[in-house]
Chain A
Amino acid sequence: MSDPVSALSGASYDGFVAVREIGPLGMITLRAKAGTPGLEAAVQAATGCAMPQVRRIVRQGECAVGWMSPDETLLVLPYGGVAAALTAIAAALQGQHHLAVDVSDARAVFRVEGAKADQVLRKLSPVDFDRLEPGELRRSRTAQVAAAFWAEDGGFTLVCFRSVASYVMGLLSVSARPGAEL
C-alpha cells in the first residue's frame, strides 16, 4: 500500500491567520441510537473518550469524539488506528443495531490558527461565534459547502468533504488575506 495522501498534501497559507490542511486523520462515523447498550463502551474502546453531550466534542490525547446528530458521532483518531477501532466497536456493539464506517478518506481537515482565527470563519459560516460554547462542535456550511468546526489549541479545526478541499482552502485563504481583518 502507498502512503496515504490527504486531499491537498498539507497545503498552507499565511495571512492574518495561518491556514493549513492537516491529515490524513482517522475518522469513523458511528451511527447508533442514544442509549444503545454498549455504545459508550464502544466509543471508549475506540478512542478513550466519553460520549459527548449534544453538540460537543470530547478530546483525549490524539483522539476525539464529536456529537453530529442524535444518532451519529464522529470519532477522530490516528489514521492507522481505524481498523482496530472498528474491530473494537464491532465487539462492543455486537448484536446491537448500529453502523460504524471508515470515513477517514472522505474528509479534509484544516487548522485555522491565530488570535483572529474566528474572523476567517465569521466570513464564511452563518454562525454566532460569540455564543459558541467551550467544546462545541458546530455543523454548518462554509460558503457553499457543508463543514463542521470546533475551537481548540488557539484556533479552529474545520472538517469538510474531501472533494471540495481545494474550494475550502481557497475560501479560507481569501478570507485570511492581510488587510481583511474584521
Chain B
Amino acid sequence: MSTRLKSGGRLIDRSAPVEFTFNGKRLRGCAGDTLASALLANDQMLVGRSFKYHRPRGIVASGAEEPNALVNLGAGARLEPNQRTTTTELFDGLEARSQNHWPSLEFDVGVVNNYAARLLPGGFYYKTFIHPRAAWKHVFEPIIRHSAGLGSAPKDRDADRYEQAYAFCDLLIVGGGVAGLQAALVAGRAGARVWLVEQTAHWGGRAPVDGDVIDGQPAADWVEAAVLDLSAMDNVTLRLRCMAAGSYDHGYVLLDEKIADHTPGDGRPKHRLWRMRAGKIIAATGAIERPLSFAGNDIPGVMLAGAVRDYVVNWAVSPGDRTVVVTNNDDAYRTAIALHQAGLEVAAVIDARSIANGPLPERARALGIRVETGRAIARVKGGKRVEAVEICHQAGEGAASTTLPCDAVAMSGGWSPVVHLWSHCGGKLIWDDGEAMFRPDPSRPPLTDDGSAMVLPAGAANGALRAAVADADAQVKIALQALDIASEGDDPPAHVVPDESALEPVWIMPQGAGIALRSKMWLDFQNDVKVADVQLAAREGYESVEHTKRYTTLGMATDQGKLSNINGLAVLADSLNAKIPQVGTTTFRPPYTPVPLGALAGEARGDIFQPLRKTPMHDWHQQNGAYFEPVGHWRRPYCFQRPGETPEQAVHREVKNTREALGLLDASTLGKIIVKGPDAGRFLDMLYTGVMSSLPIGKCRYGLMCNEQGFLSDDGVVARIDDDTWLCHTTSGGADRIHAWMEDWLQCEWWDWQVFTANVTEQYAQVAVVGPNARKLLESLGGMDVSKEALPFMGWADGTLGGFACRVYRISFSGELSYEIAVPASHGAAFWSMLHAAGAAFGAMPYGTEALHVMRAEKGFIMIGDETDGTIIPQDLGLDWAISKKKPDFLGKRGQERSFLANPDRWKLVGFETLDGSVIEDGAYIPEPGMNANNQRKVQGRVTSTYHSPTLGRGIAMGLLRQGPARMGEVVEFTKMDGGVTPARVVNPVFYDKDGEKPNV
C-alpha cells in the first residue's frame, strides 16, 4: 500500500495539516502536497477509470505528463473537470471527484467494455459505426456519450475571474530547473531583461531529487542561492506556477500563470494569461520519462521510476512497501537507491540490458539490491492495484520464470526532451541514437523576424540529460550574443552527476511478446491505445504517423501523448520495418498543458465581453422602454415599448405617429466623414458613382459607393460644406470601414492628391425630426429659419434651435417632412430631451430602427445589407439614375462593365404586394418550375425586405426578380416555411407618396 513515510519530504510541511475530500471521503494531507501526493499518502491508489475500457487507473507520473489521475475539482461555480492531481496543489477544503465511471469508482459498469475489448479495436470508431446510419444516431452515439468522456462540464457560471497582461523581455527562460536558473543567472548578470518562469510551485526541477552536486554543494542549496541572487536583480522577473503554453511567431509566447488555483475565493484572479513578447526564448523545459510497454503496465501501482523517486524524496510518500524497478537505463537505479534509503524494500531491479555495471547499478548492488539483467516483466498481476510481477527474459516471448510479489512497479524507458516550445513554431528534431530520443536539431531552429533562431533549447530539453548546467550556460551565451548583450565569460559551475552507461532501446517488453501480452501493453493510458492497436493500424496500411495517430487516437487525449508519443511511433516504425527518424513525430501544438477557457477570454466577459457603442442619448432610451438591437457594435432602439405593447405593436404605433404627427429618431450612429482639400471633389467623384464635385455649397446629394468589382458597398447623403469641404454620411455600421477605404485610396493610389479626411461620426448627436409637424416643432424652439424657402429639401444650414448650436440637413429617409439635426455630442442628451418636452404639444414620439425600416420600405428606399449582399450592383436596384454616365472613371465602373453584369436576365429590384395582404416571410424565394443540376428547385428571385405596412394596412415587400421591372402586374409565388406559398403581385417598389411630395413641403 502507499503511505506517508515517517520522515523526509523536502516540499511538505508536516506541521501544517490540510483537509480535503476525495469522492466525499475526508482525507488529510500536508501543506506542500500535490493532490496526487496526498492521495497516495492516504493509500488512494485507484483514482480513475480509463476512457474506453474503464480499466482501473492510478497515478503514473508526478507532473504535467500525468495521463490518468484527472479529477473533477471543486463544485458548483468552481467545478473544473479534468484537473491533473499531479499538478494540483493541495489546499484546505479541496473537493475532488474521480471521473469517467458509473455508478462508482470502485464498481464501474462500463468496465464491461474491457471484456469486450476485442470488439473495440484500433479505429473502431471508423469500423463499427458507419452502417446502418440510424444505428449510429439511436444506438451507438447515446451509448458512447454515456460511457466515454472525461469530467463533467460545469453547469454554473464560473465564479472566478481571469485576466491577461502583456509583457516584453529580451530573454524568456522557460523552466526553473538548474538549467533555467543558470541561464537566468548569466542573462541577469549581463543586464538583460529576463523572465524566468516555472510551471510548478518550486524552483530547482529534478536536480535536488536526483542528488546532483553543483558548484560543490547539494543542488537544493545551489538552487536556493541562485533564486536569492536572481530575486535581487531588478532586471529579472521570476514567476512560479507559470506555464509556457505555446510559442508563436516572432517571439510571442503565451504563459498561463496560476494565481489563485490553490487559494480559491481569495479575491485574486484565478489565472493570468501573459501575452509575452520575447527577444529570444530559452527552453529549459527538461525531459519526460518514458514508460515501458509490458503487459499490465496500466494497473494502479505501476508508475514512472522518476515519479516514484519524486514522491519519496519530495513528499515522503511511498507508492508501495515493496517495489520492483524495471528499466533499460541507469537512471532508474536512482529510484531503487532512493527507495532503499527511505527504508523501503526493492524487490528487484529488472534491467532489460544484459549488462548493467555503471556507477549507479554498482551502488545499488552494493546496497544489497537484487539486480536482474536481461530480464523483463512478462505481465503485472493485479486488478485495482499491483499484486505481483511475472519475470521473464527480455529476449524471449514472455514465458515467466519467476513471480515477484510487490505492490508497486517503477518503470523507466529512458527520457525524452520536452521539445514543445522548440517545435511549436517550426523547430525541427533529430533522432539521437545514443539516448534513443528526439532532440532539437540546432541547424533547423524556429526563426524569428530577423531570420535568427527564436528558441534556444537548454539542458535536458536540448538532450543534455546529464550536463544541464553547462549546456544552459552555453546556450544562454549564444542567445545574449544574438541580442547584442555582452555577458561575462565565466565558466559555468561544475555540475557533478554520476556517469551512466548507455541505455538500450526497449519498445516492447519482452521483445518477442505474443498478441495476448501485446493487447495488454498500454501506450496511451488516457485514450486506451495499446501496442496491438498501433500494430493493427500498421497492418491495415497506416504508414504515416499522423494518420496512425488519428486512426488509433494515440496521443490525442488531454495529455497530448506526453508519455505515449515516442513509444507509439517506435512501435509503428518497428511494425513498418522502418527507422524511427523515417517515421518521424506528430506535430507538437500548443498548449503544452490545457489552459482554462476563462484565461483565454480574460476580461472579455459580461458587460465587457465586447465593446458596445452607445450614443449620447443611450441612457434616455434605456429609461424609456427601448428594445435594443445590435447595429454593428452600436446598440440602437428597435422600438420604444409602452406598457402592455408588443414590439410589433410599438413599431406600428411609431410608424403611424410619425406619418401623422411627429417622430423623433436618434440618428447619431450615422457615419460622418469630412473630406477636405483642393482635390476633394475629384476624389469624391472617384469614390461615388455619381458626381459630387458639382454639388453646390449648402446642398445635399444622395450617393452610392461601390467596390472595384462594381458591387454596391455603402450609401448616404453628401453635403457640400464649403469650397473644398464635403461631409459624407455613411451607413451606421459603415463609418469606420468607409473611412479606412478612403484612406486606403488616398495613401496607396492617389497619394499626390491633396485631400484630408476626418471621421467625425461621434462628434455629433444627430436627431431626425420627422413628420407633418416637424417644422412646427422646430419653429416653436426659436432660432434659425427652417422654412421651405430658407431651408429647402436637400439643403442644409448652420444655426441655433432652442439655444443649441446645430447643423440642420433637410433630408428624408422616411418620405415625410424631415430635418436631421446635428449638435455636439456633449449636448446631445439635453437637445433630445428638449425636443421631447417641446414636441409633446405636437404629438412627438421617439421611434426606433424598425419603424425607420418600415417607412423606408414603404418609400422603396434600399438598405445596405438588406437589398445588397456584396453581389448586387446599383443597376440591379434600379439606381441607374445615381450613376454618372459622363465620368470616365470611378471605383467600380470597370467592374460593372463585365459581361455578366450586363445580362438582362439578372434579378432586379421590384416591389411585391401580397394578394391577401399577408406578409411575405423573411428570406423567401420565388421558385419556378424545374430542377437545377443539384436537383434543387429552380428559383427566379427572392425577397430582400418584407414588412407589414401600418400605413397601407397590408404586407409590402421589395425583392429581386429575374427581369423584374419588365414583369409589373404579374403574380409570383413566394415560398413559406410550412411548404405553402404566398402569391404576390409585382409592383413598383414605391408604395407611399410615389411622387415624393410629402418631404418637399
Contacts and interface: CB of A to CB of B under 8 A. Distances in A.
Direct contact of A and B (CB under 8 A): yes
Nearest to B829: A5
B163 A170 contact: no
A157 interface: no
Given A98-B756, A99-B676, A180-B163, 20 more contacts: A1-B804, A31-B758, A71-B756, A97-B678, A97-B756, A99-B677, A99-B756, A99-B757, A101-B674, A104-B763, A105-B764, A122-B165, A123-B165, A126-B275, A128-B166, A128-B277, A143-B611, A144-B611, A166-B612, A174-B608
Nearest to A174: B603
Interface in B717-758: 754, 756-758
Interface of A: 1-7, 24, 29, 31-32, 71, 79, 97-99, 101-107, 119, 122-128, 130-131, 143-145, 161-167, 170-171, 174-175, 177-180, 182
Interface residues of B, number: 51
A106 B825 contact: yes
Interface stretch (B108-116, B219-227, B261-269): B261-269
Contacts of A101: 674, 758, 760, 763
B898 interface: no
Task: Name, among B277, B613, B754, B756, the residue most crowded by chain A CB atoms within 10 Å (CB to CB).
Answer: B756
B166 A125 contact: yes
B608 A170 contact: yes
A1 B762 contact: no
Contacts of B761: 106
Contacts of B74: none
A79 B827 CA distance: 13
A106 B760 contact: yes
18 contacts: A4-B824, A29-B758, A97-B677, A99-B674, A101-B760, A101-B763, A104-B824, A104-B826, A105-B825, A105-B827, A123-B164, A126-B166, A130-B193, A163-B614, A163-B615, A167-B608, A177-B161, A180-B163
Contacts of B625: none
B974 interface: no
Nearest to A181: B268
Nearest to A79: B826
Contacts of B275: 126
A31 to B, nearest CB: 4
A175 B703 CA distance: 44
B22 interface: no
A5 B830 contact: yes
Contacts of A143: 603-604, 608, 611
Contacts of B674: 99, 101
B762 A105 contact: yes
B268 A31 contact: no
B634 A130 contact: no
Contacts of B604: 143-144
A163 B613 contact: yes
A28 to B, nearest CB: 10
A166 B622 CA distance: 14
Interface string B250-266: 00000000000000001
B831 interface: yes
A19 to B, nearest CB: 14
A123 B166 contact: yes
Contacts of A3: 830
Interface string B604-627: 100110111111100000000000
Contact of B268 (A71, A104, A106, A179): A179
A66 to B, nearest CB: 15
Given A130-B168, A179-B269, A2 B614 contact: no
A24 B826 contact: yes
A5 B329 CA distance: 76
Given A145-B611, A179-B267, A106 B164 contact: no
Contacts of A7: 616
Contact of A122 (B166, B610, B633, B757): B166
B838 interface: no
A170 B758 contact: no
A119 B165 CA distance: 8
Interface string B819-860: 000001111011100000000000000000000000000000
A75 B604 CA distance: 32
A2 B831 contact: yes
Contacts of B614: 163-166
A147 B269 CA distance: 25
A103 B761 CA distance: 9
Contacts of B677: 97, 99
Contacts of A32: 756
A164 B760 contact: no
B266 A179 contact: yes
B830 A122 contact: no
A105 B758 contact: no
Contacts of A2: 803-804, 827, 830-831
A42 to B, nearest CB: 14
B18 interface: no
B167 interface: yes
Contacts of B603: 123-124, 143, 171, 174-175
Contact of B267 (A31, A145, A178): A178
A105 B608 contact: no
Contacts of A71: 756
Interface in B217-259: none
Contact of A106 (B272, B611, B763): B763
A130 B678 CA distance: 43
A178 B369 CA distance: 57
B939 interface: no
B187 to A, nearest CB: 16
B758 A162 contact: no
Contacts of B11: none
A116 B596 CA distance: 27
Given A125-B166, A143-B608, A4 B827 contact: yes
Contacts of B163: 123, 174-175, 180
Contacts of A4: 824, 826-827
A164 B268 contact: no
A1 B269 CA distance: 46
Contacts of B269: 179-180
B190 interface: no
Nearest to A120: B165
B595 interface: no
A104 B763 CA distance: 7
A29 B805 CA distance: 20
Contacts of B804: 1-2
B762 A128 contact: no
Contacts of B164: 123
Interface in B163-181: 163-168
A175 B604 CA distance: 11
B166 A106 contact: no
A177 B603 CA distance: 12
Contacts of A179: 266-269
B823 to A, nearest CB: 9
A163 to B, nearest CB: 4
Interface in B66-107: none
B444 to A, nearest CB: 29
A102 B672 CA distance: 13
Contacts of A98: 756
B165 to A, nearest CB: 5
B60 to A, nearest CB: 36
B613 A5 contact: no
Contacts of A79: 826
A105 B607 CA distance: 24
B827 A1 contact: yes
B165 A5 contact: no
A145 B762 CA distance: 14
B613 A144 contact: no
A36 to B, nearest CB: 11
Contacts of A124: 603
Contacts of B616: 5, 7, 162
Nearest to A121: B166
Given A99-B758, A179-B268, A105 B826 contact: yes
Nearest to B765: A105
